[in-house]
Each structure stands twice: as structure tokens, then as C-alpha cells.
Structure 1
């Protein structure tokens, strides 16, 4: 079987579109294996879902970085939840274009990261110049007086920082 990008399939009927939306919401509800406080949809790695035939779907995921070891677990979890909801044939493909960016994390995902003690990445805007300094707000006390302890933390996506004000260490989800 030749894998073609999702956009090359014929457009869905209204009933298929509703089912696709429901299945995409199910797949998107899967928690990230490394950051279980956020779902794949909130993290922005779930790119699409298309019904190929009755009982057969294709899901597109974009990893946070090439070679991300969590992609296999994400794929297996998506397959499991869709199988549990009556879809016997699930294909999960990794797509690298467009590349994932921390801008793909939803506002809810950023809120959940901060609530869990992980400083979320700053959202980039097209307005104005990019700041030359990076201030990271402590998720514990809110201070921007923080220091970098290690460029890598529990995963390659995060750095380890410490707040100078409250002295608490915390993970910071790196901007990409």
C-alpha cells in the first residue's frame, strides 16, 4: 500500500467528517508519554486523521524532534484507543513537514505545563523583534530571576533551571 498524504484523499462526506472529528478528538485525548499532564492535541503533535475506508483510518503525528523516542508509545496509545472504539485498522504515520514548533502547544497545554511545575515555552509572535534575552518565569513563585542548571533535563525537550528567588529547581520546556 502506498502512503499518500492525507490531503490527497477525496473530501469527506458530512457524516465521515463528523466521525473523523470524533476519532481525531479521541486520538488527541491521548496523554503524552513523557508529559502526561498534556494531551497529544494540546502538545500540537497530532496533525490529522483521515478515514480511508470503513474501519480504517490513518493518523499523522509530528514528533517534537526527529528521533523522539516517545513517538512509538504515542502511536501505540493512539492505535489502542481507536481499536477500543471500534476501528480495527489504524495506521499512524510520522510526518516531518511542517516541523513541530513549541508554538504548536495550545494555551491549555501551556497552562497545564505551568500548573505541573514545568515552565512552558514562550509563545512567539510575529509582532516586533525577537528578544535577545530569555527570561523564564518560575512556575512556583513567578519570578523571572532564574538560572540554567543544565541544558537537558528528564527529556531532551526540557532544560533544568532554578529560581534564584525561591531556590526551587524546575523543568523548562525549551522553545523551538
Structure 2
């Protein structure tokens, strides 16, 4: 199966410890590697985060990370929604250069879900997002923290238009 993973703002090959690089990046990297170990072909599309990164980074024989230009590299996370359309256009421009098609579109996080919804509307894909953590659950666990209404509304939107929602576990 050919799987496109959209990780709009979380590059799985970004260096840990840099700004906005952490658990989600590691998680997306390991999901891609595990899916490829099962024999699937996995392309992770992510926003270019460093001008020096190559466009394509091979993770292994069946998985790769593809850096897509979308806004300035230095853009703050709260400014990223304005670059989603540019990201989507550049994903399609990249794919126009190849003959690869995808069976499933997987997104991780609400920004990726918004990009995936636009990609899905232009192709015949099944959309299966993953959310970590759900903002309302996070807010119950951390009283006093804030989460943007934009994120909460858009996560609900992505949930509503998806073919299913993934919940991953190492349990048997």
C-alpha cells in the first residue's frame, strides 16, 4: 500500500532539541518506519524547516521524508495556517513530477489535517488522521493552560470529514 503522511509542521528528521521539535517529530518518524517495515511505501510530506535540508531524505528502502516549501522557514507556529494552501499546491507540484499515487492519506495534528483535507478534495484518497493530544483532553489534564479556538474548531472539522480516526498503541 502507498501511504502519504502529512506532517505539515513537524518534520520527523528535524534535530531534537531545536525549537518546536519534540515528541511528535519522533512519533511521526517511527510511524513511517514501522509502516514501511510492514511492507508499505511511505512518503512523509513536511514543511521545509531548514534551507539546507535536501528535498528528499530516505529513511529506509520504503520510507522517505519530502520537504515542501510553504512560507518562510522562520515562520512561527501560530502563523503557519496561512501557508497551508502554498504547502498543498507544492505537494501537488512535487507529485506531478512523479507517477506515484497513494491509497491512504494520513495526517498528524490539526494543521496537517487541514492540509490533508485540501489534498483529499483534489484526489481520491481515504483520510485517516491522528491527533495528539486532543485539546479538550489536554486542557482537562492541565487546568489553566489555553488552547486556541482555531485549533479546537479545526480538529472537529477534520474529524467530521475523515473516513476514520487512528488511535495507535503498542498494546496487543
Task: Please state which band the TM-score falls in when normalised by the shorter chain.
Answer: under 0.3
Bigger Rg, structure 1 or 2: 1
Q: TM-score, normalised by structure 2?
A: 0.23
For CA contacts below 8 A with separation 6 or more, give which structure has more relative contact order. 2
